[in-house]
Amino acid sequence: MLRNNKPAFDISEEPLGKIRGHDIELYLDLERPYPPMLTRTPYQASLETRIEIEKHINELLHMDFIRKIGHNEIVEITTPILITWHHGKLDCVGI
């Protein structure tokens, strides 16, 4: 896929890969529902942390900073929000 679309991925004089003569086959599953590995939460959170995260998300929803997207709603662009626990409080970063 990368080599077939080289102009989109190769932005320098360097080749796309350093190893020549070995190709891999990539399978991209873009159909819904997404594979379970893509829908799992990355880390387990404690009950206290989950409550604080939910509170923070509700504040962001109330301020119209974010909005809920239904599982079957198709949107053109989404931007992830990273909520971190820092110095005893939640911070919203990576927007």
- Grouped pLDDT means (10 residues each) for the chain, 95 residues: 66 59 70 66 75 85 83 77 74 64
pTM (two decimals): 0.43
| Residues 49, 33: Cα–Cα separation, whole Å | 28
Domain locations along the chain: 6-93
| Residues 46, 52: Cα–Cα separation, whole Å | 10
- Per-residue b/e over 42-77, b at no fewer than 16 CB within 10 Å? eeeeeeeeeebeeebbeeeeeeeeeeeeeeeeeeee
